Structure 1
Amino acid sequence: MSKFEFAEMPNKEGFFGEFGGQEIPPELKAIMDEINDAYEEIRQKPEFQQELDSLFADYVGRPSPIYHAKRLSEKLGGAQIYLKREDLNHTGAHKINHCLGEALLAKYMGKTKVIAETGAGQHGVALATACALVGIPCEIHMGQVDIEKEHPNVTKMKILGCKLIPVTRGTATLKDAVDSAFEEYLKDPVNFIYAIGSVVGPHPFPKMVRDFQSIIGTEAREQFQAKKNKLPDYITACVGGGSNAMGLFTAFLNDESVNIVGVEPAGEGLDTERHSATLSLGKPGMIHGMKCYVLETEDGEPMPVHSIASGLDYPGVGPQHSYLKELGRVQYETASDKECLDAFMTLSQVEGIIPALESSHAVAWAMRKAPELSKDQTILVNLSGRGDKDADYVADKLGL
């Protein structure tokens, strides 16, 4: 077995190495096992695959293209930067990939309501869209801080017909929205389904969301080889919970020539408590039904975290990311709020592409790395979402 050949992940108990699992009450474990069994059965059905493939092509607009950012590459010098354009998907981000899968799964299982959390609102918009499509009621829990930051997405969710629940407890951000949504789900887990918005939570959600998102990397690997007749030297994506990153990384894990980099939010600085650099500064712990790296206070509670990007301010991270960090297969770096804003404005003004603040973290790392490399080397960035939702916030912050 070579250095980068992996056993099937996760195992039957939902573990990626020591990470993942189901740290939940026995009665909820039975429900999660039912969802896993249904997923494994339904995903094999040709009619499910055909419906999902058709929606990806004709509804989402897949495959999303790979774009050579020539002017940005010239400006920076060094490596050539390419963008996997998930921002061009229907609803504006990668989130639609797993939301369609989860909504279809809910329909096939006969569930009566889909419940979810959202941070930046991209998952909320995508799930509200998917639920409208399949005709299932949708309830989204969102922190009050994020509601105020991400007004365009809040409006879209309401237009799409979902019930929006503002969450004012704690820091009123993503972690608190997860807690609130999970409490609602527990009121009737037999008839409701919790559509988790990332590769986090108890098994089988880290696996399911990864599988639905893996279309990103499958497409990108084939597209890049067709375009350049080789694989990229580096691939990179932002990491909060980590769904867009796992979507890209999965297809390249066995390619030893490809350096894989996840970029976490350094926020206002790693020497402050105003960051969300879970893999960089956290330690193994338990959160939301899984074992993963966690940022904790001295009392062992999840740390209040910060990122300029609402979709990344989460004190945990996907268990597969935790495992890949321990193996050394993926390198996890950080980008600060300031670097993120600079990348946001630079890509907008040099390439005419307004990126989501989440995605701007990966762009920031690529901008930092490219000048260190030669012009015949390449960096593929997963541009996970577009920045329409962030434009007013950034303009206000920069005084534009």
Structure 2
Amino acid sequence: MTFSSLGLAPALLNAITETGYSTPTAIQTAAIPPALRGADVLGQAQTGSGKTAAFALPLLNALLAAGRPASGTRKLYALVLAPTRELAAQVGETLRGLASHLPVPVKVSVAFGGVSINPQMMALRGGADIMVATPGRLLDLVDHNALKLDGASVLVLDEADKLLDMGFADEIARIMALLPARRQNLFFSATFPPAVQALAGKLLHEPVRVATQDVEEHTPDITQRAIEVDQAQRTSLLRILIKEEKWRQVLVFVATKYASEHVADKLRRGGVEAEAFHGDFSQGARTSVLNDFREGKLKVLVATDVAARGIDIAQLPVVVNYDLPRSPADYTHRIGRTGRAGASGLAVSFIAPDAEQHFRLIEKRQNVRVPRERLPGFEPTAEAKSLPPGANDGTGGIKGKRKSKKDKLREAAAKSPAN
């Protein structure tokens, strides 16, 4: 299969060649033709599968066919929603890179929180053809009258599962109310939990579904390891693995901002170049750290899930789950940072005794079994305990098992003397 067989305009095919794309991936082959026809698309797209181009190329093809004015006010054609600033920036970079080789001018604007809104408002003077944004900052721009959504023809939800998991459901509902009822919807998600399925049911009209088989054909070559170790020994074990196994670059996932700083500091004291990466970083600091990591100046990046979303590091060899993720879906996203674009990768998980049950749940949902390892000098001193459903497993709990606010209020009311 070639890009020329997908129905793209000749000028866009030239841009594809200039940008360095060779052959379409499975998600691109499946999603681009129906998107070009104007159909709604529901695509399951794992990290590294090429999903950005799967929606970027149809958007640019439509703008190319319509022709764009060289100057003057532009009417918004497409809105792309992304869960994090890193992913929004990455999508914007892809769109701009392709658009730079087109014979007609296409204006792509990118907006996200954590930085001043003023430059983003200035960039929207004269409008934009494509708007890439995180939900909260998009609504800020609308509230400042910097952008109107009522004329958009296409809505793209990129990594929809993470948009909902990060608590953007209310913002998405507000945005939907501002968009025209008649529009094309392109909906991409790595996983399809019930909340994502419900949202797809509301938004999409007779969508073309990209078969799961297409995702499986491009399953990354990722070796998974699970090492049993006490929590107190994890940093020492990480340092030894980095040095003895000669890992040139490692993305380490932790549960909290504090852990990000703490682990990075201990690694530096042990002679390993490491930096923390979490949501409290300014945009300038985030960009600087990511650039150092991409360029190989930094060996280890210790990140939280929210901060790491959207990170795209070519040929990243190793991912470490220092803390296990709360959900199996997050596990999929984490290990998908490695083994991209045909390369092989390694995903290592540290399994403390009180986290064994939670990892078994992850294995069950992933339909895999990862052999447990015990390394000399780091054998756990306690044995794994069988925990009842919903019990705290030492990793922040199993997603979906925490008491809701309503449950807590009912318990408090039941204990009240009035009852």
Q: TM-score, normalised by structure 2?
A: 0.30
The higher-RCO structure (CA 8 Å, 6+ apart) is 1
Q: What TM-score, normalized to structure 1?
A: 0.31
Structure with greater helix percent: 1
